[in-house]
Amino acid sequence: MKGFRLVAVTTHLNYSLNNLTHTIMQSTTVDKSTAKKEDTNFKLFNQLQSYEHEQIVICSEPSVGLKAIIAIHNTTLGPALGGTRMWPYNNEEEAIRDVLRLSRGMTYKAAISGLNLGGGKAVIIGDPRADKTEELFRAFGRFVDSLGGRYITAEDVGIDVQDMEWVNSETKYVTGIPKSLGGSGDPSPVTAYGVYMGIKACCKKAYDNDSVNGRKIAVQGAGHVSSYLCKLLAEEGAELFISDIYEDKVEELANEVNATVVDPDDIYGLDVDIFSPCALGGIVNDDTLDHFNCDIIAGGANNVLDEEDKHGQMLMDRGIIYAPDYVINAGGLINVASELEGYNPDRAHQKASKIYDTILDILEYSEENDTPTFVSSNILAEQRINNVGRIHRIYSSKSEFSGHIGEMYRGKQ
């Protein structure tokens, strides 16, 4: 480990009886003699405190060019699980903002999905096409390992299975590894199955009948998630319209599922029952919103609403049911989380099928409380975190003494 540098900034969250207010005990390995006097405007701490992050770990190993940041948002429900993103960020602040935003999203995703996991994420600053080496990922793996399971990593944008195999050489706290190594492989089939169940839940709410038989569905994207999803929808008798920016891709899928190919720009205005975004984020925006001619928007893509508050409310005002993206596409997370228990595809599918009930609960809550669906899912996720947080105040045989007392206690065993 010689030459490794670790700067850790930690805040511990102690849940009060009624809410997520917390006391902050900060510790840092930065040399205190050189630290400046407290600067209350220090941006990093403002960022951490504003979204109640627990910890951020800056990982540096110049000999292999590693610059990585691990953010742990909340571990009330369990260890923080979330992928590692490799991206050529323009500056450090951009990378920190991204990892804080993404890790927080994982807390909500795990909580609403009923998983005993917290939220975390990592970013590696670098170009995934030029900067990948075995040594870089193994160095990153050692930092992940140093957190002793508080953070469990997986693949995200710019990372592939090979990279995770290298990480796995240095730590067991990694998921999304190949099936041959006991992992779960490609998460897309489970993601698609969860999206399919979520679409059925929306149909139940809109039409009091959860079958997609005879429903007209516009699917944006002909990639991994979309391909598996379209097969499930077609099997049940849906009439599909598909678009992709790659003609060969969309033609191939359309032939397979007997769908109509649509120009990428024309997909928004189709007169359909359901619009299923399975390509990009930000597709519900000021330009597209008026064009939607559907009852339901429900798909696998991340960050579907360009501006959550504004466009979530506008969809509600237009009477369009919106299935929150991080709820309906949680099958991928459910899949990698299953690796922690020894991967079993049937169990992963069975867990993903619960997305049906979760989406229905959110839609009911929204109707009763007159709130946009993404607001409802955030509230329900926070309720679960708060409720479990309260229970964790109770000492049990699973509780651990820590520090000096812990050593003494363990010595008596």
Residue 291 makes contact with ligand NAD by CB under 6 A: no
Q: How many residues does the chain have?
A: 413
Residue 302 makes contact with ligand NAD by CB under 6 A: yes
* Of the residues 74, 191, 358, 376, which one makes contact with ligand NAD according to CB under 6 A: 191
CB of 242 to ligand NAD, least distance (A): 9
Torsion of CA 109, 111, 115, 117, to 10 degrees: 90
The span of 3-11, 170-178, 300-308, 314-322 binding ligand NAD (CB under 6 A) equals 300-308
Give 222 or 230: the residue with its C-beta nearer to ligand NAD. 222
Other CB atoms within a 10 A radius of the CB of residue 73 amount to: 29
State the Cα–Cα distance between residues 219 and 206, nearest whole angstrom: 19
CB of 156 to ligand NAD, least distance (A): 9
The answer to whether the CB of 338 falls within 8 A of the CB of 200 is: no
Q: Alpha carbon of 255 to those of 222, 227, 249, 295, 320: distances in Å?
A: 12, 11, 10, 26, 30
* Of the residues 71, 122, 197, 278, which one makes contact with ligand NAD according to CB under 6 A: 278
Give 47 or 302: the residue with its C-beta nearer to ligand NAD. 302
Torsion of CA 193, 194, 197, 199, to 10 degrees: -100
Give 66 or 195: the residue with its C-beta nearer to ligand NAD. 195
Size of the site for ligand NAD (CB under 6 A): 25
| Active site (annotated) includes residue 121 | yes
Give 280 or 391: the residue with its C-beta nearer to ligand NAD. 280
- The SS3 of residue 42 is coil
118, containing H or E segment: strand 118-125
CB of 223 to ligand NAD, least distance (A): 2
Residue 264 makes contact with ligand NAD by CB under 6 A: yes
CB of 45 to ligand NAD, least distance (A): 30
Tokens for 172, please give them. 């067991």
* Of the residues 300, 324, 372, 389, which one makes contact with ligand NAD according to CB under 6 A: 300
Pairing of strands 151-152, 80-81: parallel
Give 11 or 335: the residue with its C-beta nearer to ligand NAD. 335
Cβ contacts of residue 98 below 8 Å, gap of 6+? 85, 87, 89, 123
**Contact positions with ligand NAD (CB under 6 A) in 312-351:** 329, 332
Choice among 109, 121, 132, 205 that is catalytic: 121
State the Cα–Cα distance between residues 101 and 240, nearest whole angstrom: 34
Closest CB to ligand NAD: residue number: 223
Torsion of CA 164, 167, 168, 172, to 10 degrees: -120
Give 199 or 225: the residue with its C-beta nearer to ligand NAD. 225
CB of 102 to ligand NAD, least distance (A): 11
Give 119 or 187: the residue with its C-beta nearer to ligand NAD. 187
DSSP state string for 48-112: HHHTT--EEEEEEEGGGTEEEEEEEEE-SSSSEE--EEEE--SSHHHHHHHHHHHHHHHHHHHHH
**Contact positions with ligand NAD (CB under 6 A) in 211-250:** 220-226, 243-246, 249
The span of 31-39, 204-212, 295-303, 379-387 binding ligand NAD (CB under 6 A) equals 295-303
Q: Which residues of 315-347 are buried (b: 16+ CB within 10 A; e: fewer)?
A: bbeeebbbbbbbbbbbbbbbbbbbbbeebeeee
**Pattern 160-189, ligand NAD, x by CB under 6 A:** ---------------------------xx-
The span of 71-79, 114-122, 294-302, 375-383 binding ligand NAD (CB under 6 A) equals 294-302
Backbone dihedral angles phi then psi of residue 75, each to the nearest 5 degrees:
-120, 25
CB of 15 to ligand NAD, least distance (A): 29
CB of 333 to ligand NAD, least distance (A): 8
| Helix-helix angle 355-369:373-391, to 10 degrees | 110
CB of 173 to ligand NAD, least distance (A): 20
Quote the distance between the C-alpha of residue 168 and its chain's center. Answer: 21
Q: Which residue type does 391 have?
A: I
The answer to whether the CB of 156 falls within 8 A of the CB of 84 is: yes
User: Which residues contact ligand NAD by CB under 6 A?
Assistant: 187-188, 191, 220-226, 243-246, 249, 264, 278-281, 300-302, 329, 332
Q: Give the residue numbers annotated as catalytic, written as ranges.
A: 121
